[in-house]
Structure 1
Amino acid sequence: MKRLVMAGALTLFSTSAFAENHAITYPFEGDFGDATFAVESAIVGRGLVVDWVSHTGDMLNRTADAVGSDVKLFDGADIFQFCSAQLSRKVMEADPMNIAFCPYGIFVVDQQGEVIIGYKTFPEGPMQEVQALLDDIVKEALQ
């Protein structure tokens, strides 16, 4: 029983640590529309193509009743998905299973007027080059 409690506590603490470190975020001075425009412009300005924009906030608001919730998580939440052929090839030649991280995404969220831009973190090794690209794009969007 003691082992079970210890294993549960370890899992809880591991999950909490993971939850705190799974994304890099930056506050955006401006509204949601300005932030989404800035992110898309920064991606396209690098010669990359936005493959898809996931309107996650709209989906969560639209489906809240269907899943039995009355919580509004975001006033706006979009995820811009894209790839870099050159960088993707490089990281997948290092490890073909890096395909699991493609496409790359940058999110913009608005929670009660607080707009945040961010991206999920990647493991050490070749994927850090992708993380650096995402960070550069986000920092450009913040200017």
Structure 2
Amino acid sequence: MLKSILLGGLMSAASVTLAAAQDTSTTYIYDGSFDDAAFSVESAIIGKGLVIDYVSHTGEMLERTRADVGSDVKLFEAADIFVFCSAALSRKVMEADPMNIAHCPYGIFVAERDGKVMIGYRNYPEGPMQKVQALLDDIVNEAIDF
């Protein structure tokens, strides 16, 4: 009986962990190619008057190092992360709480997996960082409608 209780507790903990992991990002399916989605995200970011600091070619890195780390799993057909910041918004959220520096810079990812292209971003905590999340959601939705 104790074994059943412990196993049930572990399964509940695993379910909570899985649910929490699924809540770490917001993703949207993009109806088009990876290249079109990447162009749309780049255009939407620039259209907001923001500067892209860096584009991380995460999919290429994962594929290039796949054998080196002993894996045969191809995670993405392609995956990029657009890294940028908003001076005005960053100042606002960091004046509210200087430790919001931990969330800067911001990123929007574009990835293709299993024939589906997705665009998304990391979810932020309640409070002032929700202003950043709203900006990211606005950019992503603009990219999807591009």
Sort the TM-score into its range (normalised by shorter chain). over 0.9
Match of 1:68? 70
Match of 1:83? 85
Match of 1:16? 18
1:15, distance to aligned residue in structure 2 (A): 1.6
Q: Which residues in structure 2 correspond to 1:127-142 (within 5 Å)?
A: 127-142=129-144
SS at match of 1:80: strand
CA contact (8 A) 1:25 1:116 kept: yes
Choose which of 107, 110, 134 in structure 1 pairs with 2:109.
107
SS at match of 2:38: helix
Matched to 1:41, the amino acid is: S
Query: TM-score when scaled to structure 2?
Result: 0.91
Structure 1, unaligned stretches of length 5 or more? none
1:14, distance to aligned residue in structure 2 (A): 3.1
Matched to 2:55, the amino acid is: V
Cα distance between partner residues in 1 of 2:87 and 2:121: 19
Match of 2:49? 47
1:112, distance to aligned residue in structure 2 (A): 2.8
1:6, distance to aligned residue in structure 2 (A): 7.5
CA contact (8 A) 1:31 1:113 kept: no
1:103, distance to aligned residue in structure 2 (A): 0.4
Structure 2, unaligned stretches of length 5 or more? none
Query: TM-score when scaled to structure 1?
Result: 0.93
- The number of equivalent residue pairs is 143
Deviations 1:27-84 (A, max 9, x none): 1011000000000000001110000111000000000001100110000000001000
- Residue identity over aligned pairs, in percent, reads 63
Match of 2:125? 123
SS at match of 1:27: strand
1:13, distance to aligned residue in structure 2 (A): 3.1
Consecutive aligned runs of 4 or more in structure 1 exceeding 3 Å deviation: 1-11
Match of 1:95? 97
